[in-house]
Amino acid sequence: MMVDSGQDPERDSTSKLLVRALLHPLAFLGLAVGLLSAPSLRQAAVPVATLLYLAAVGCLLLAWSRGPRAPRGARRLPAELRGRARELADGVVALESEIRRLSRTRVAEVRAALAPVVDEVSGLTARAVRLAQNYQRALDHREMADLAGIEEDRATLARRRDESDDPVIRRQLDEAIASVDRRIADLEDLRRAALRCEAAILNIQTTLEGLQTRVLKFATSERGVTSLERQELAEEIDAVRATSAALEELIGGETSLYA
C-alpha cells in the first residue's frame, strides 16, 4: 500500500473558492453596512452585520457555482471555429481537460509518471486546434468561391468557344477556360485538404482516447506504476510524438492552400 502524499484536488478547489468569497470586497461591504447601522439597530447591529456578511458570501458562492466556468486549465478555442470545425476541436480539448484532471492524482509517484503524458497531450491538442482552423478556412474559401457558379461560367465560355469560327476568339476563350479549370482544381485541392485535416483531428482524438484510458488506469491504482507499465507508457508517448510530427508535416504542407 502506498502512502498518500498528495491532497484531494476537489476539496482544495472548494476551500479556495470559500476563502475567495470570505475575503471578497462585497462580503466586507455587507459587514460595513450592518456596522454603520449601529445607531438605529443598537444591540442588534453586530448580529445584523454578521448576517449581511454571510449573506453576501452565500450570494457570491451561488453566483460562481451557477455561472459558466471553464475547467481549470481549459484551452480557449479561436472564435473563427464554427460548426464541424468547432465540434472537432471541442472533442479534442475536452479529452485534454479530462486527461489533465485524471493526472492530478493524489499519489505523487503516479503524478510524476504521468507528467510527460500531459506535456505531449498539450502539444497534440494545440496541433488539433490548428488543423481545425485550416479546416474552417478551407470550407469558408470554398463557400465564398461559389463552385456551382464557377462551373456554370465555364460552361458558358465553352459554349461561346464552340459557337465561334474566329480562331483568335477561340484561342482567347480556351485560355479563359484553362484559367477557370485551374481555379476549380485549386478548390478541389481545398476540399481534399479539409478532409485530410478532419481525418488528422480524428486521429488525434482516437490517440487521446487511448491515453485517457491509460491515465485512468494509473490514476486509480493504489500500487503505483511498475517498471513494465512505465515502459508501456513511454512507448505510448513515443507513438504520440510520431503522430504529432506527422501532423506538423501535414500542416506545413497545407499552409500555402489557405493564403
Residues 7-34 have pLDDT tens digits of 444 444 556 666 666 666 666 666 566 5
- Which stretch of 39-48, 86-95, 112-121, 205-214 has the lowest confidence by average pLDDT? 39-48
Distance in angstroms (rounded) separating the CA atoms of residues 112 and 124 = 20
Give the DSSP per-residue string, 205-228. HHHHHHHHHHHHHHHT-SS---HH
- pLDDT digits 0-9 by tens, 172-204: 999 999 999 998 998 888 888 888 888 888 988
- Of 77-81, 120-124, 191-195, 237-241, where does mean pLDDT reach its minimum? 237-241
Q: Whole-number mean pLDDT of the chain?
A: 75
- Section 123-130 average pLDDT: 87
Confidence of residue 6 (pLDDT cuts 50, 70, 90): very low
CA-CA distances (angstroms) from residue 238 to 71, 80, 104, 129, 213? Answer: 28, 32, 22, 21, 17
- What does the pLDDT read at residue 102? 83
Helix axes of 45-66 and 9-22: crossing angle, nearest 10 degrees: 130
pTM of this structure: 0.62
C-alpha count within 13 angstroms, C-beta hemisphere, residue 229? 14
Q: What is the CA radius of gyration of the chain?
A: 30
Domain boundaries, the chain: 1-69, 75-258
Q: Which residue has the higher pLDDT, 104 or 91?
A: 91
Contacting residues for 124 by C-beta, under 8 A, at least 6 apart: 92, 204, 207, 208, 240, 243, 244, 247
Distance, CA of 57 to CA of 215 (rounded, Å): 37
Name which residue leads in pLDDT, 210 or 29: 210
Nearest to 61 by CA among 7, 29, 10, 16: 16
Q: What residue spans of 67-146 are helical by DSSP H?
A: 83-103, 108-145
Specify the pLDDT at position 225: 66
Q: What is the largest CA-CA distance in the chain?
A: 108
What pLDDT digit, counting tens, does each position of 141-172 carry? 888 888 888 899 999 999 999 999 999 999 99
Question: What is the per-residue pLDDT across 34-71, written as a single tens digit (0 to 9) for each?
Answer: 556 655 555 555 666 666 666 766 666 666 555 444 44
